[in-house]
Amino acid sequence: MNPSLPLSTRPRQTHQRRLPWLESVLAALIILGAWVYGFLNTRSPVGPLVPNVLPGTQRVEANGEIFTAYNAEDQVLGYAAAADATGYGGPIYLLVGIDPNGEIAGIQVIEQRETPGFYALLSDRKFIQGFLGKTTDQPFMLGQDVDSISGATLSAGAVAEAIRNASEKINTGALQPTAPPIRFGLPEIALLALFAGSLTLPRFRNTRSRKILHWALLLTGMAVLGFVLNQPLTLANFASLLAGYWPTWQDHLYWYMLLGGVIGLAVLQGKNIYCFNFCPFGAVQECLGRMSDAKPFLPRGVYRQLRWAPRWLAVLALALGLAFRQPGAASFEPFGTLFSFSAGFFPWMLLVFVLFASLITMRPFCYYLCPVGVIMDFILFIRNQVKRIWRTKQNAPMK
């Protein structure tokens, strides 16, 4: 402790130094508790239902979200996965059984909270039966390979979507587990270019060149990661990573490059190169801010207090995603609303509110709500603390 400091400031400084540690430990404990809860409580209702959609099943083996059914001779009888989608009045949660040839052998409606009238229309028209015998490589899109139900289009779309999601899980996880083709295309090339550009940005001494590169990165990120691919970094990515829902690397190189690159560079270089260089939603906010000449508004004291809100919101969302093993549901960011133009009423409200605020102050979502920024700050904080402790130990005199 510095003896020249007034006595009154000492306890406050110690308190301020300890607070981030206490906050981090508490957040880590909550997330760990949620992970354990989710680990102990997931999948329980689905496994015993597999014999319903794959008759003759004697044994069921769970591998993540995919269930493999074996017959009495211990031969693979098929695969099953559950998925849900929302119709007009609520979700429809289905278990889909698929034989080794990729044909749908059985479907069970595990739970549905659809508006009764609409759901009754599906039952009357034998809509779900129409999927039986179809192969999983079909798109399951209304109007293409699936006939729509007049008067219950949203309900029919939800059933098709749930079956499509379940089929995709099985397709990528069980039917083609060994040799999916390695997909390396425009998204991966664009991502590599964005990483390379972000790493070279600090080397530019010339302010004008640096500005040009900064805007080139932002606009490329906004166009490619946002409007073309709609695959920005979200809280759901981190939740999937922690929950162990890792996609096959061969056809999801982009996922690994984005997460691995951003986290890896944060740990190795101590820099968050994503948020202010090529985050597509950040780019949209910055464009709006530039149009109205907005400046960041970070009032001293108040900013520090307000930062607590997004931190604990991110912890809550991540904990819920892990506890219920629903990483996708944890993502409350309005990224998808903007880049795919589809969402419910409240995501639209949040988006409009944030975009309007972007005209007044620079990047309001980044500073006051974004969970990705919170997680990156946490990773950098832990990294810097570990490095500090390591250096202190290295410099400590030998006893």
Partner 1 sequence: MENQTKRSNEIGAVRALQIYVLVTIVLALIILYGSFQQTNSGTLSGEIYLRHNTVEMGGY
Integer-rounded Cα Rg, in Å, for the chain is: 25
Of the two residues 90 and 247, which places its CB atom closer to partner 1 in the complex? 90
| DSSP per position, 337-393 | HHHH----HHHHHHHHHHHHHHTTBS-HHHHHT-HHHHHHHHHHHHHHHHHHHHHHH
**Shortest Cβ 6–partner 1 spacing (Å):** 27
Contact call for residues 129 and 198 (beta carbons, < 8 A): no
Of the two residues 192 and 349, which places its CB atom closer to partner 1 in the complex? 349
Residue 148 structure tokens: 């729509």
Q: Which residues bind partner 1 (CB under 8 A)?
A: 45-46, 49, 52-53, 55, 82, 84, 86, 90-91, 93, 103-112, 123, 128-129, 132-133, 297, 299, 302, 306, 309-310, 313, 316-317, 320, 324, 326, 328-332, 344, 346-347, 349-350, 353-354, 357, 361, 364-365, 368-369
Instruction: Give the integer Cα–Cα distance in Å for 217 and 224.
Output: 10
Between CA 317 and CA 321, with CA 320 as vertex, the angle to 5 degrees is: 85
Nearest to 231 by CA among 241, 223, 242: 223
Instruction: Give the integer Cα–Cα distance in Å for 266 and 282.
Output: 18
Instruction: Give the integer Cα–Cα distance in Å for 49 and 126.
Output: 22
What phi, psi does 351 have (nearest 5°)?
Answer: -60, -50
Strands 76-86, 91-98: pairing is antiparallel
Of the two residues 261 and 321, which places its CB atom closer to partner 1 in the complex? 321
Please tell me the number of Cα atoms within 13 Å of 227 on its side-chain side. Answer: 7
**Shortest Cβ 313–partner 1 spacing (Å):** 6
**Shortest Cβ 36–partner 1 spacing (Å):** 18
To which residue do tokens 């990573």 refer? 241
Of the two residues 306 and 380, which places its CB atom closer to partner 1 in the complex? 306
- What type of residue sits at position 79? Y
Of the two residues 103 and 168, which places its CB atom closer to partner 1 in the complex? 103
Of the two residues 108 and 198, which places its CB atom closer to partner 1 in the complex? 108
Of the two residues 254 and 368, which places its CB atom closer to partner 1 in the complex? 368
**Shortest Cβ 360–partner 1 spacing (Å):** 8
Rounded to the nearest angstrom, the gap between the alpha carbon of residue 359 and the centroid of all alpha carbons in its chain is 27
**Shortest Cβ 270–partner 1 spacing (Å):** 28
Of the two residues 52 and 172, which places its CB atom closer to partner 1 in the complex? 52
Instruction: Give the integer Cα–Cα distance in Å for 218 and 222.
Output: 6
**Shortest Cβ 255–partner 1 spacing (Å):** 20
**Shortest Cβ 278–partner 1 spacing (Å):** 23
Of the two residues 263 and 286, which places its CB atom closer to partner 1 in the complex? 286
**Shortest Cβ 107–partner 1 spacing (Å):** 5
**Shortest Cβ 306–partner 1 spacing (Å):** 5
235-243 vs 253-269: helix crossing angle, rounded to 10: 90
